């Protein structure tokens, strides 16, 4: 396939799909990247190119040969650093409860590699692959050729709550507590529309072939040692499901993405583990195989507790499904394990979430090691739309504490009646992924 | 909408879609209903109308006013009766392991009402609803106007393994052990094709409306007291997902359906709880609300352990999701709890299954109450197709038993990394639904 100029391809379509009529351009260029808050109704508000991107005034500093991380952006001081090079940071979990839509500044950052600096004027996204025409989309085209779509969706790292798993038996990886998760309103272009532009039609593939295809996503973040880019993929079966809304996102809570979150565009694959939501997106490829990266083929797979990093085989990797849809989880975020609190009645609060578009049906607490369960009140949710809910819920409940040690368990049930496992040891895996066991918190009441 | 004769509507289509060319009609009428085995390749073999249905020689006996169950069909003696009126029966679980595709004769039977007798010559299926043209399809039309589709799919009752839940705390409902599940090859017409014939096109509905619609399914089985029919529904969002293959099925393992399994046609909604797979289908209706039956609005919902049949409120019913997709489960089917076996190494075997098209990733056993887990070998599966696997797996593993009491735990992990709960008490609900907790079996070795 030879690349063709999208402008040439799409003159007619360009006219028909520019539906943005509202003028919200009363901002200076300086304001645009960081301060424009378009948090009103995204369905009627158009995120215009000039409001979210600064076309020409990003000057990328020269690469620092001795320290590829030297040009990483500054981070909010409220983030707890879990590693510096690459940077990984999470907010304290009680901060997460302050806003249903996690502020961009404290949204957890999970980088595998140095943060790439993107010159917006030079940026383009390449789209192509099996039976497709290769097209290059500039930022202006990405944001104006298509109607914008906004969805509320959680991003969660596969290693969220790994530190609890690490206490059961040591695991590798960033020792996240419960803050490697966040919820945001993401605005972008539906990935299906972009694929359609490159000629994707399910009728172009035999049914047998169609269901073996993958959509490979490549970032601009590069491994300083190997020169290879970060990349991951999702099976095309997701794209065949209209209930799924995959985005090439250019805005997060009404603002352009920050460098740490993938500026200028990233994949948002709602319900799917963070690792596939590739940041600094440079390329989308329809292919006959998964992304051929360690992030797809080796990392982000969770093995049986009987397999260790010393015993894992290539066959184990081959036979184990990549983590995609996130299973149901819940977290008591208002307090920390071992915290000293006052005796009496206290309010405990937290979040609960499930992937695959499932909503949270209920959240339950136990104060007697599971003999009895009481319902928490779900205080905030976006919807109970079946197969189309990508957001978390917030929950709360007053509990009475006795003087001394109080153990509180929390678990959630999703709309598919999926359950959380009780014991971390039963789902332990050497990389410490998907600790979705009951959250058990000890509070010491004085 | 006024009903129109499908024959009139579809003259042209009828010609184009009759793709059955193989002549397999060398059977007598007497043979056709019960003995024709078309278990060869369904993709190339056409299940012709005359081979699976007896058009005119079913004579329905007169209703017995004093006993509406008097005309129920005879059942295989290997089925264990759990109730007679209505009839509910399951095979011993070790019998399930003999064939990957459960023989029709021992496939569990779950009836809510008397079995209706259907005179095939008079039968038709009505399809209609919001923005659709109402059409009536005779059996001949159902089997010849459309290309047949065959899928391997499990059916499982929501109450499978209820007897274990009942031992934790009493629950209502049929006390199934682990046999209220079966796997079969189902052949029929894709429900999407039937809806399309009645004019269903997603573009005919605003996106907001589309996702609030339901497909109501009505059976011919009638409540003798109220005169109402059995009915259930699924949200239309399922139909929007091409990964999902819903059937109006007329054959089970290559034979016509038996009276107990919905003769002449039933819904097969793969991955979805048995109760929505309506038997003896008489009507399919696209509607703005769920089926207004107790089976949809009250039964087949699982509440928190904190809610009892005495305390449940209308609000609880309204706020609780109907059971649809079945969560991951596993079962040690070769032995029964408390069984006496010989000391030494024995082979244990079982099944594992998950709904929503998810395949089983692995099955694990523990002989030390979860401290260590070992992998079972998956001996049989249909596929690992993501989002399109509707079948169960069989698994086996040699285990060494010590003299005395041996407790074996089994659990499975599906391709979405969903987990089973460990403790029944944590998922207990007063109707005894969805006991998908680890299966724990005690074997006494002599």
Taking only the tens place, the pLDDT of each residue in A34-45 is: 223 332 222 333
pLDDT value of residue A37: 32
Overall average pLDDT of the A136-145 stretch: 90
Same domain assignment for residues B114 and B224: yes
User: Is the residue at A274 inside a domain?
Assistant: yes
Same domain assignment for residues A61 and A154: yes
Residue among A409, A278, A301, A432 nearest A350 (CA): A409
Q: Which two tokens stand for residue B148?
A: 């047949």
- Rounded CA-CA distance A228/A243 in Å is 33
Same domain assignment for residues B287 and B335: no
The reply to whether residue A388 touches residue B235, judged by beta carbons under 8 angstroms, is: no
pLDDT value of residue A11: 24
Q: Which residues of chain B make contact with A241, given a CB cutoff of 8 A?
A: 240-243, 387
pLDDT value of residue A1: 29
Number of domains in chain A: 2
Same domain assignment for residues A283 and A145: yes
pLDDT value of residue A51: 56
Q: Is A94 a residue whose pLDDT tops 70? A: yes
Q: Which of B302, B372, B419 sits opposite A327 (nearest CB)?
A: B419
Q: Which residues of chain B make contact with A376, given a CB cutoff of 8 A?
A: none
Q: Is A191 a residue whose pLDDT tops 90? A: yes
pLDDT value of residue B30: 33
Task: Kindly indicate the confidence band of residue B36, based on its pLDDT and cuts at 50, 70 and 90.
Answer: very low
Per mean pLDDT, which range of B29-38, B93-102, B103-112, B402-411 is the poorest? B29-38
In tens, the pLDDT along A328-375 reads 999 999 999 999 999 999 999 999 999 999 999 999 999 999 999 999
Same domain assignment for residues A231 and A362: no
The reply to whether residue A362 touches residue B425, judged by beta carbons under 8 angstroms, is: no
Q: Is B105 a residue whose pLDDT tops 60? A: yes
User: How many beta carbons lie within 10 A of that of residue A321, not counting itself?
Assistant: 18
Q: Is A30 a residue whose pLDDT tops 60? A: no
User: Is the residue at A311 inside a domain?
Assistant: no
Overall average pLDDT of the B317-323 stretch: 96
pLDDT value of residue B61: 85
Task: Kindly indicate the confidence band of residue B414, based on its pLDDT and cuts at 50, 70 and 90.
Answer: very high
Q: Which residues of chain B make contact with A330, given a CB cutoff of 8 A?
A: none
Task: Kindly indicate the confidence band of residue A60, based on its pLDDT and cuts at 50, 70 and 90.
Answer: confident
Sign of torsion over alpha carbons A166, A172, A173, A174: positive
User: Is the residue at A62 inside a domain?
Assistant: yes
Which residue's entry shows tokens 């799919």?
Answer: B153
Same domain assignment for residues A288 and A248: yes
User: Is the residue at A428 inside a domain?
Assistant: yes
Same domain assignment for residues A139 and A220: yes
pLDDT value of residue A57: 56
Same domain assignment for residues B405 and B280: no
Residue among A357, A397, A438, A183 nearest B321 (CA): A357
Q: Mean pLDDT: which of A59-63, B100-104, B118-122 is highest? A: B100-104
Which residue's entry shows tokens 């391997």?
Answer: B152
Q: Is B71 a residue whose pLDDT tops 80? A: yes
Q: Is B17 a residue whose pLDDT tops 80? A: no
Mean pLDDT, rounded, of chain B: 88
Three-state secondary structure call for residue A168: helix
Same domain assignment for residues A89 and A167: yes
Out of B273, B297, B321, pick the residue that ends a domain.
B297
pLDDT value of residue A49: 58
Better pLDDT: B7 or B150: B150
Task: Kindly indicate the confidence band of residue A58, based on its pLDDT and cuts at 50, 70 and 90.
Answer: low
Q: Is B56 a residue whose pLDDT tops 70? A: no
The reply to whether residue B385 touches residue A202, judged by beta carbons under 8 angstroms, is: no
User: Where residue B362 sits, what CATH number does that domain have?
Assistant: 2.60.40.650
Q: Which of A306, A418, A436 sits opposite B374 (nearest CB)?
A: A306
For chains A and B, count residue pairs whose Cβ atoms are closer than 8 Å.
Answer: 140
The reply to whether residue B419 touches residue A436, judged by beta carbons under 8 angstroms, is: yes
Out of A297, A320, A343, pick the residue that ends a domain.
A297
User: Is the residue at A324 inside a domain?
Assistant: no
Q: Which residues of chain B make contact with A373, given a CB cutoff of 8 A?
A: 304-306, 426
User: Is the residue at B317 inside a domain?
Assistant: no
Pairing between β-strand A124-129 and β-strand A281-287 as defined by DSSP bridges: parallel
In tens, the pLDDT along A8-21 reads 222 222 222 223 33
Same domain assignment for residues A293 and A350: no
pLDDT value of residue A385: 80
CB B431 within 8 A of CB B419: no
User: Is the residue at B369 inside a domain?
Assistant: yes
Q: Which of B243, B422, B436 sits opposite A240 (nearest CB)?
A: B243
- Rounded CA-CA distance B107/B184 in Å is 9
pLDDT value of residue B336: 97
Q: Which of A211, A243, A325 sits opposite B237 (nearest CB)?
A: A243
ipTM of predicted complex = 0.89
The reply to whether residue B370 touches residue A426, judged by beta carbons under 8 angstroms, is: yes
User: Is the residue at A317 inside a domain?
Assistant: no
Q: What is the domain extent for residue A402?
A: 329-445
Three-state secondary structure call for residue B6: helix
Out of B297, B317, B352, pick the residue that ends a domain.
B297
Mean pLDDT, rounded, of chain A: 88
- Rounded CA-CA distance A367/B133 in Å is 56
Q: Which of A211, A419, A425 sits opposite B420 (nearest CB)?
A: A419
In tens, the pLDDT along A314-332 reads 999 999 999 999 999 999 9
Same domain assignment for residues A233 and A369: no
Same domain assignment for residues A254 and A139: yes
Question: In A32-167, at which residue ranges do the beta strands (DSSP E only) sit?
Answer: 80-83, 88-90, 109-110, 124-129, 135-138, 149-156
Better pLDDT: B161 or B64: B161
Residue B386 is given by DSSP the state T
Best mutation target among A165, A382, A416, A427 (most B Cβ atoms within 10 Å) is: A416
The reply to whether residue B417 touches residue A434, judged by beta carbons under 8 angstroms, is: yes
Q: Is B429 a residue whose pLDDT tops 50? A: yes
Query: A386: distance to nearest CA of chain B, Å?
Result: 7
In tens, the pLDDT along B170-194 reads 999 999 999 999 999 999 999 999 9
User: Where residue A124 sits, what CATH number does that domain have?
Assistant: 3.90.420.10
């Amino acid at each position: 396939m030879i690349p063709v100029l999208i402008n040439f391809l799409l003159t007619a379509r360009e006219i028909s799909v520019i539906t943005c009529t509202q003028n919200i351009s009363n901002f200076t260029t300086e304001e645009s990247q960081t301060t424009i808050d378009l948090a009103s109704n995204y369905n009627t508000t158009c995120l215009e190119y000039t409001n979210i991107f600064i076309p020409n005034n990003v000057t990328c500093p020269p690469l620092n040969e001795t320290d590829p991380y030297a040009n990483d952006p500054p981070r909010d001081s409220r983030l707890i650093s879990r590693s510096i090079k690459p940077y990984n940071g999470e907010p304290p979990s009680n901060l997460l409860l302050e806003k249903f839509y996690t502020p961009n500044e404290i949204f957890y950052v999970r980088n595998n590699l140095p943060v790439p600096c993107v010159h917006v004027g030079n940026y383009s996204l390449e789209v192509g692959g099996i039976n497709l025409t290769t097209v290059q989309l500039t930022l202006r085209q990405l944001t104006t050729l298509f109607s914008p779509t906004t969805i509320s969706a959680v991003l969660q790292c596969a290693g969220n709550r790994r530190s609890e798993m690490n206490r059961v038996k040591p695991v590798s990886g960033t020792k996240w507590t419960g803050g490697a998760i966040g919820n945001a309103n993401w605005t972008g272009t539906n990935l299906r529309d972009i694929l359609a532009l490159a000629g994707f039609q399910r009728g172009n593939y035999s049914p047998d072939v169609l269901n073996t295809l993958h959509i490979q996503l490549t970032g601009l973040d590069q491994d300083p040692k190997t020169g290879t880019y970060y990349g991951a993929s999702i099976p095309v079966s997701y794209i065949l499901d209209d209930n799924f809304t995959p985005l090439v996102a250019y805005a997060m809570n009404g603002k352009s993405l920050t460098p740490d979150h993938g500026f200028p565009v990233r994949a948002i694959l709602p319900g799917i583990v963070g690792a596939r939501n590739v940041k600094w997106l440079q390329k989308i490829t329809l292919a006959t195989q998964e992304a051929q990266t360690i992030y797809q083929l080796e990392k982000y797979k969770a093995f049986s507790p009987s397999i260790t990093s010393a015993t894992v085989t290539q066959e184990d990797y081959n036979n184990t499904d990549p983590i995609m849809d996130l299973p149901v989880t819940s977290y008591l975020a208002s307090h920390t394990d071992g915290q000293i609190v006052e005796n009496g009645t206290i309010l405990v609060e937290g979040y609960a979430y499930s992937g695959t578009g499932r909503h949270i049906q209920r959240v339950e607490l136990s104060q007697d090691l599971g003999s009895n369960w009481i319902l928490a009140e779900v205080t905030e949710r976006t919807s109970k739309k079946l197969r189309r809910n990508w957001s978390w819920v917030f929950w709360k409940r007053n509990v009475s504490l006795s003087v001394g040690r109080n153990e509180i368990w929390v678990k959630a049930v999703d709309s598919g009646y999926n359950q959380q496992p009780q014991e971390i040891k039963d789902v332990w895996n050497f990389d410490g992924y998907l600790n979705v066991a009951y959250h058990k918190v000890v509070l010491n009441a004085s």
